[in-house]
Chain A
Amino acid sequence: MRKMILLALACVSLEGCAHLGVQPWEREVLARDDMQLDANALDTAFDDHIYFSKEGTSGGRGFGGGGCGCN
């Protein structure tokens, strides 16, 4: 886990990211609905619920929409 955190920190360190990205007027594509990271929110919520009740691990993307006994 420690390695994972270090790796992630290295990837996301603000210094490293400073040269990445676009100018505000270059966001035409990024602003499209289908480019949003939560574009499939409802599908994802259904899927998370199904896989939560059928597999041994869950979560990671965000917080799920409520608990479940899920026998």
Chain B
Amino acid sequence: MANNDRKIGAALTAATCGLLGIAPAASVAAEPEPRWDIDSAFLYYGESDGRVQDMSLSAHATRDFGDERLLGFDVSVDTLTGASPNGAIASGSPQTFTSPSGRATYETPAGEIPLDDTFHDTRFALNGSWSQPFARLYTVNAGLGFSSEFDYQHIGANLGLTRDFNQRNTTLSMAMAYASDSIKPVGGLRQPLSQMGDAVEEDDEEGIEGGGGSDSKNVLDVLLGVTQVLGRHTVLRVNLSYSDSSGYLTDPYKILSVVDPVTGEPVARTPSPGADGPGNVYLYESRPDSRRKEGLYAELRHDFSGKVLQVGYRYSTDDWEVDSHTLESRLRLPFGESGYLEPHVRYYQQTAASFYRYSLPTGPLPEFASADARLSDMNAVTVGLKYGRETAGGNEWNARLEFYQQKAKAPAEFLIGNQVGNTQMPDFNAVILQFGYHFKL
């Protein structure tokens, strides 16, 4: 009985403190000790036809120190293998390319989109964040993050401030992030629009390695957001974002085919005597060294007696002239006694960058050119389904299966001769499979 009284007393103390908005003294705290909340998942991403496969393990951990003070960590490891389009066009004859290392060559059969299958990479990423109130109605949050790959390092910091209005029905937020990345391409940096040369022997000191080096990229992001409660069942968020990237924005592994200005067929090249190298002329791509993006993002969540509909829309525009629209929706439906089903659809559409080229005709070269399909006209669709189930202990496990299909299209004005009506783009399908477990410690 005495024990019960103590419990009731402690609960009342906590409730009173809660109402008064003050923290109970530790000796009378009835609330559980600060705990970790951990969301973990394994993800498999696999593209069709032996292209990119990625396996990833991630965890998002939050520790609540009370009084809305939260410590967060994100840790992620992923390993990537498979083939990636190198930017060259398909040709009626087999094609030979020098691999990024500059030490070997790889072949593409006639009629196929050239893929570079020499990529293997492991990425490790860690982020830490802290969030706490710092005055009545204000919350501040700050974070640090870094990630590392074989040829790429990232370090970034962010700082944000939110303020509540209207009985906390309206929240305004402002945040900034700054990142400094360094790129050290396999085989070294290439001169923009320089020609892909022959493969060089391992012991050749004049080799590609000599032209090595690294470069950097800085990104500043600014975000202004408002979250508005629209009713007992509806909440809306709208963000405006601005992003300014400067530095090395080129993809060091992407090339363009140089073609005959009339037929559109690749221009032949002869490797040096005794050397192994490309049989056509290919140039390394060149992108501007700055990019400014502006975006609008809106997301609505609405509850229909236990079913939750989420609808999101994003518009993005930038000075590379890539404009995109993304429409996305999830519907969470209660399923069984303690489970849910969540169908997901997403549609994405973008316009080509001003310097996108399907290939480069011989003659004067433009200052910037890239044949990367990610910068061409494109649309993509994702459909998926997630199932989650709560365990007796209050934890949750879930599984998600999604299909992604991407179709790119080269703008007609860049197609030359035989390329018209014969264009091939590196379209692909991918499957996304995820298993997650959400638990508390």
Q: Give the contacting residue for A59; candidates B84, B238, B241; CB below 8 A.
A: B241
Q: Which residues of B contact A29 (CB under 8 A)?
A: 232-233, 303
Structural contact, B158 and A42, CB atoms closer than 8 A: no
User: Considering the complex, which residues of chain B in the window 10-46 have a beta carbon less than 8 Å from any beta carbon of chain A?
Assistant: 39-41, 43, 45
Q: Is B199 among interface residues, defined by CB-CB distance under 8 A?
A: no
Question: B residues 156-182 with Cβ under 8 Å of A?
Answer: 156, 158, 165-170, 172, 175, 177, 179, 181
Q: Do A46 and B179 touch across chains, with their CB atoms under 8 A apart?
A: no
Q: Which of A16-68 contact B (CB under 8 A)?
A: 17-18, 20-24, 26-30, 32, 34-35, 37, 40-43, 45-46, 49-51, 54-57, 59-63, 65-68
Contact A43 B400 (CB under 8 A): yes
Quick check: A40 and B156 within 8 Å, CB to CB?
A: no
Determine the main DSSP class of B at the interface with A. strand
Given the known inter-chain contacts A42-B58, A69-B151, please indicate yes or no for A8 contacting B229, CB distance below 8 A: no
Q: Tell yes or no: B140 within 8 A of A by CB.
A: no
Complex contact B239–A46 (CB within 8 A): no
Say how far B381's CB is from chain A's closest CB, in angstroms: 12
Determine the main DSSP class of A at the interface with B. loop
What number of A-B contacts does a CB cutoff of 8 Å give? 190
> In the complex, how many residues of chain B place their beta carbon closer than 8 angstroms to a beta carbon of chain A?
93
Tell me the bound Cα distance from A35 to B374 in angstroms. 34
Question: Measured between C-beta atoms, what is the minimum distance from A50 to chain B in Å?
Answer: 6
| A66-B127 contact given A8-B296, A34-B308, A54-B374, CB 8 Å threshold | yes
Interface string of B57-86 (1 = CB under 8 A from A): 010100000000000001010000000100
- The interface residues of chain B lying within 8 Å CB-to-CB of A59 are 221, 241, 243, 293, 295, 316
A17 touches B322 (CB 8 A): no
Q: Which residues of B contact A24 (CB under 8 A)?
A: 167-168
Decide: B60 and A41 in contact? CB cutoff 8 A.
Answer: yes
At the interface, yes or no: B353 with Cβ under 8 Å from chain A?
A: yes
Nearest Cβ in chain A — how far from B407, in angstroms? 12
Decide if A63 touches B221 in the complex (CB within 8 Å).
yes
A-B pairs with lowest CB-CB distance, top 5: A21-B169, A67-B154, A69-B152, A66-B147, A60-B297
Residues of chain A whose beta carbon lies under 8 Å from any beta carbon of chain B: 1, 4-5, 8, 11-12, 14, 17-18, 20-24, 26-30, 32, 34-35, 37, 40-43, 45-46, 49-51, 54-57, 59-63, 65-69, 71
27 CB contacts below 8 A, A to B, read A4-B296, A4-B315, A8-B296, A14-B170, A17-B228, A20-B170, A30-B233, A37-B227, A50-B404, A54-B380, A54-B406, A55-B350, A56-B374, A57-B293, A57-B318, A59-B221, A59-B243, A60-B239, A63-B158, A63-B223, A65-B74, A65-B147, A66-B125, A66-B147, A67-B152, A67-B219, A68-B152
Q: A17-B166, A46-B43, A69-B152 are in contact. List 6 more A-B contacts (CB 8 A).
A: A17-B165, A17-B169, A30-B235, A37-B237, A59-B316, A63-B158
